[in-house]
Structure 1
Amino acid sequence: MTETSSAPGFGLYIHWPFCKAKCPYCDFNSHVRERIDQARWRDALLVELAHYARQTEGRRLTSIFFGGGTPSLMEPETAAALIASARDAWEAAPDLEITLEANPTSSEGAKFQGFAEAGVNRLSIGVQSLEDSALRFLGRQHSAAEALEAVALARAAVPRFSFDLIYARPEQRIEQWGEELARALEQGPEHISLYQLTIEENTVFHGAWRRGELALPEEDDAAALFEFTQAALEAEGLAGYEISNHARPGAESRHNLTYWRYGDYVGIGPGAHGRLTLEGQKLATRQHRAPEAWLQAVEAEGHATRQRQGVGAGERLEEMLMMGLRLREGVTRAAFQRELGAEPENLLAAKPLHDLIEGGFLELDAAGLRATAEGRQRLDPLLARLLA
C-alpha cells in the first residue's frame, strides 16, 4: 500500500496496557503497576503474535501500531523483538509504517532513539496541551516545556512524527485555543490529531461532571471551536482527512486509515480488538482485557482470545459507515463491493439517503459515499438517520 492508495492495507495492533498514572479523562484499557516483568511480557506478546500469524499466512503487512496505555514505557528491545517477529510472519510492505505512542516525559523521551533503532519509524506523542495549567487539569505528568522537548527529540529520531492536542476544555475561548494552536503549528508537524474533550463513563471526569463540578463548552461553542480548528489547519496545508486528524498530503496515518477503510488487522495484547477476513467471513476478535489474566491465558493457551465471532452483513455495513464516513474521502464503491457485494444505493434505504444528500450532509457519486463537512460535524445523528 502506498501513501496515496485507497486500499485498506493489513495492520498489526499491539497493546501495551501500562501507564505511570491514569488520566482523569481516559477510558482506555490502561493500568498502573509498580513493577512490570518486561521479559515475561515480551515473550507473551510474541506468543500471541505467532498465534494470529499462523491464521493469516500470506498477508502483506502495511503497518504496525504500538498503542496503549503508554508503549514508550516498554523497553526498546521488546519493540525490536515484536517488529522482527512480524516481519518474519508476513511479507512486509516496502514502506511498512511502524508507529509507537509515546508520552513526553524526560525519561521516555530519552528512549526515542532506542525505539528508532528497534525499527519504529513514526512516533505519536501525547502532548495534549501546551499550557501548563491545562496539563495539570488533564492529569498529565509532563510540562509544556517537556512536551516541546519531546517533539524535538522525535523529529531527530524518526522520519515521521505526530502529536495530539485536546481542546474544547472548560471555559476555553477561541482566542486562547488559537494562540495554543499557533504554538503547536510552529513545530512544523506533518500530522496532528486534535480531539475535543469528551466525558467518558467510568472516568474521574465523569464523576466530576455528574456532581456538577465540571462543565464542557455548550454545543454551539464547541461547534465554533471545531470550525475554527478546521479552517486554521486548512490554511496551514494540513487538511482534515478525518474528523480529528490533519496531515499534509502523504503524511496520513496509514495504520489508522486501515481502520477507517474497514481493512483487516490483527490485535494482540490485553483488550486488543481485531477484524479479520478468513475463508470469506469477517471475524471480530477481542483479547482478554485484564493484564494479569491476559498474561496467564497466553502462557497457558498460546493466546487470550475471548471473542471470535462472525460479523453479519448488517453489522458490517454499520461498522463500515461509522468508520468510513469519518474520512473526507468517505467509503468507496470498491469497499462496498469488497465487504457486501453491492452498491450503496442497493444497501441503504432510498428516502433517508435522498434526504441527507438533499440536505447537504452526504454526497454520492461514481467514487462512493462521503459526508460533507457539515455531515462530518453531525456524524452521530447522520448515521442514526441513514441506518434507521
Structure 2
Amino acid sequence: MPPLALYIHWPFCLAKCPYCDFNSHVRAKTDVAAWQAALFADMAHEAALLPGRELTSIFFGGGTPSLMPPALVAGLIEQASRHWRLAPDIEITLEANPSSVEAANFAALASAGINRVSLGLQALDDETLHFLGRLHNAAEGLAALDVAQRHFARVSFDLIYARPGHTPESWDAELARALALGTGHLSLYQLTIEPGTRFATLVREGRFTPLDDDAAGDLFALTRERTRAAGLPAYEISNHARPGEESRHNLTYWRYGDYAGIGPGAHGRRLETATVRHKKPENYLRALAEQGHGLADERALPRAEQASEALLMGLRLGEGIDLAALGARFGFPETALIDPAKRAFHIGNGLLREEGPRLIVTEAGMPLLDALLAELVPADLVT
C-alpha cells in the first residue's frame, strides 16, 4: 500500500495578516474539549476509509497551530498512532508564530512529538514586519528561532520578499542574514496580492504599489543563486533545503500522493477522491455533531484531472516529472500528457531539459513557470 500523510488544520489566529488568504479566524476563546472531540472524530472518519496505511508525515497547519495546547497536539499524534502505523522516521511538523508566548511552548511541543517546526518569521526588520501586519518584532523572531533550534531536530522559517520598493541590494543583505542563521530549510515567497485580503483593498485604494514583475523576477533569480551557493538549493519553486531536509509532507502533495486532511477548511486527496472540510469553525463543529465528520464536499477525481494536477505540481519541483511513469499511472500516453512539439520547442529554448526519464524545468524556465505550465499542460486529456 502507498504511504499516507495527515494534515491537521487549526484555524485560529490572534490577528489576521493583511496578505493572508488562508482559512484563519480570530476568536476571543476556544473550547479545547470540543475541538479535541471534533478532531478526534474527523480523524477516525478518515482512518476508517484508509486502513492499513503507513503514516509518513503529520503536518499541523493553520491558522496558528502553535496556539494549540501541547496536550491537544500530543493527543492528536497519539490518536494517529492508533489509527495508522507510524513510519519509524515519521516527520511531524507544526507551523508556529515567533512570539515569546508561543516559543515558551516549544519544549512541551517537542515532548508532545513535534520534531520539525516551521516558523513564520516573514522578515528580519521591524519596519517590514509592521507593514506585513505581524505581531512580533525582529528581535522576538530571532529569539524564537534560537529556542526552536534548541528543541527541534529540524527547523524551517518563512520570509516574504518582492515587497514594494524591495531592491536587490536590500534583499541580498537580508537573505545573507537568513542563510547565516543555520536552518536546513527556508520557504521564500514572493509577496502576492490575493483577492479578498486587506492588501488587495490597499492596492485598490492606491495606498501602495506592488513590485513590478521584472523587478520581482530579478529577486527570484538572486534568491535561487544565493541559496544554491549556500547549499540550500531550490527543490520546489519557493522552497530551499539542504539535501535530506526537504519537507517530506509537502513532497507528498507535489508528488501527488495520498493525504488525509482534517480540521476547518482542510483539503485532502485520498483514493482518487478530493475532499474539503467546512471552512467556518462553527459550521465545522456543527457538521461533526450532525454527521460525524467535517466534510463539506467529497468528489471523485477523473483520471484526466488527476494527471493534469500531477503535471502541474510535479513540474514545480527541481526533480521534475517522469512522464512515462505518470502516463502509466493514469492511463495516458506520454504524447497526451505534453505535446511533443511543445516539449521540443521549450527544450530548444532552454526552458525545459531532459535528465534520463525526467522532464525538468530549467533555471531559465522557473521564473516563467505559470506561463509555461499554461502552455504545456493540456486543459483536456484524451487517450
TM-score w.r.t. length of structure 1: 0.94
User: Structure 2: any 5+ residue segments left out of the alignment?
Assistant: 379-383
Segments ≥4 residues shifted beyond 6 Å: none
Structure 1 residue aligned with 2:376: 386
For 1:30 and 1:103, the matched residues in 2 are separated by: 14
Given residue 371 of structure 2, which amino acid in structure 1 is its aligned partner?
P
Q: 2:275 aligns with which of 285, 297, 306?
A: 285
Q: 2:234 aligns with which of 237, 240, 250?
A: 240
User: Structure 1: any 5+ residue segments left out of the alignment?
Assistant: 1-6
For 2:188 and 2:66, the matched residues in 1 are separated by: 21
Label 1:8 to 1:185 Cα distance change in 2 as closer, same or farther (>3 A).
Answer: farther
Asked if 1:302 corresponds to 2:296, the answer is no
Q: CA RMSD in A?
A: 1.5
Structure 2 residue aligned with 1:351: 341
Work out the percentage of aligned pairs sharing the same amino acid: 52
Structure 2 residue aligned with 1:362: 352
Q: Is the 8 A contact 1:325 1:376 kept in 2?
A: no
Structure 2 residue aligned with 1:262: 256
Q: 2:148 aligns with which of 154, 157, 171?
A: 154
How far does residue 71 in structure 1 lie from its aligned partner after superposition? 0.2
Q: Is the 8 A contact 1:271 1:289 kept in 2?
A: yes
What aligned pairs does 1:175-186 form with structure 2 within 5 A after superposition?
Answer: 175-186=169-180
How far does the alpha carbon of each residue in 1:280-313 deviate from its partner, in whole angstroms, 9 at most, with x for none?
xx11010111111001111221102111111112
Q: Is the 8 A contact 2:327 2:337 kept in 1?
A: no
Structure 2 residue aligned with 1:96: 90
Label 1:364 to 1:346 Cα distance change in 2 as closer, same or farther (>3 A).
Answer: farther
SS of residue in 2 equivalent to 1:32: coil
Label 1:365 to 1:156 Cα distance change in 2 as closer, same or farther (>3 A).
Answer: closer
How many pairs does the alignment contain?
A: 378
For 1:308 and 1:195, the matched residues in 2 are separated by: 30
SS of residue in 2 equivalent to 1:374: coil
Label 1:173 to 1:8 Cα distance change in 2 as closer, same or farther (>3 A).
Answer: farther
How far does residue 85 in structure 1 lie from its aligned partner after superposition? 0.7
SS of residue in 1 equivalent to 2:318: coil
How far does residue 178 in structure 1 lie from its aligned partner after superposition? 1.3
Q: Is the 8 A contact 2:312 2:377 kept in 1?
A: no
Q: Select between 345-354 and 158-167 the one with higher mean Cα deviation.
A: 345-354
SS of residue in 1 equivalent to 2:365: helix
For 2:109 and 2:327, the matched residues in 1 are separated by: 39
SS of residue in 1 equivalent to 2:22: coil
How far does the alpha carbon of each residue in 1:341-373 deviate from its partner, in whole angstroms, 9 at most, with x for none?
345334322222222222221224533222112
Given residue 235 of structure 2, which amino acid in structure 1 is its aligned partner?
Y
Given residue 30 of structure 2, which amino acid in structure 1 is its aligned partner?
I
Asked if 1:26 corresponds to 2:20, the answer is yes
Label 1:300 to 1:335 Cα distance change in 2 as closer, same or farther (>3 A).
Answer: farther
Q: Select between 166-175 and 327-336 the one with higher mean Cα deviation.
A: 327-336
Structure 2 residue aligned with 1:271: 265
Q: Select between 338-347 and 58-67 the one with higher mean Cα deviation.
A: 338-347
Q: Select between 32-41 and 325-334 the one with higher mean Cα deviation.
A: 325-334
For 2:335 and 2:2, the matched residues in 1 are separated by: 22
SS of residue in 2 equivalent to 1:14: strand
Q: Is the 8 A contact 1:99 1:121 kept in 2?
A: yes
Given residue 331 of structure 1, which amino acid in structure 2 is its aligned partner?
I
Structure 1 residue aligned with 2:31: 37
Asked if 1:216 corresponds to 2:210, the answer is yes
Q: Is the 8 A contact 1:9 1:258 kept in 2?
A: no
Q: Is the 8 A contact 2:268 2:276 kept in 1?
A: yes
Q: Select between 233-242 and 348-357 the one with higher mean Cα deviation.
A: 348-357
How far does residue 379 in structure 1 lie from its aligned partner after superposition? 1.1
Q: Is the 8 A contact 1:131 1:144 kept in 2?
A: yes
Q: Is the 8 A contact 1:316 1:339 kept in 2?
A: no
For 1:334 and 1:190, the matched residues in 2 are separated by: 32
For 1:373 and 1:186, the matched residues in 2 are separated by: 24
Structure 1 residue aligned with 2:381: none
For 1:343 and 1:120, the matched residues in 2 are separated by: 42
Given residue 244 of structure 1, which amino acid in structure 2 is its aligned partner?
S
Label 1:364 to 1:49 Cα distance change in 2 as closer, same or farther (>3 A).
Answer: same
Structure 2 residue aligned with 1:77: 71
How far does the alpha carbon of each residue in 1:216-243 deviate from its partner, in whole angstroms, 9 at most, with x for none?
2121111111111111111110111111
For 1:322 and 1:337, the matched residues in 2 are separated by: 14
How far does the alpha carbon of each residue in 1:234-267 deviate from its partner, in whole angstroms, 9 at most, with x for none?
1110111111111001000000000010110000
Structure 2 residue aligned with 1:116: 110
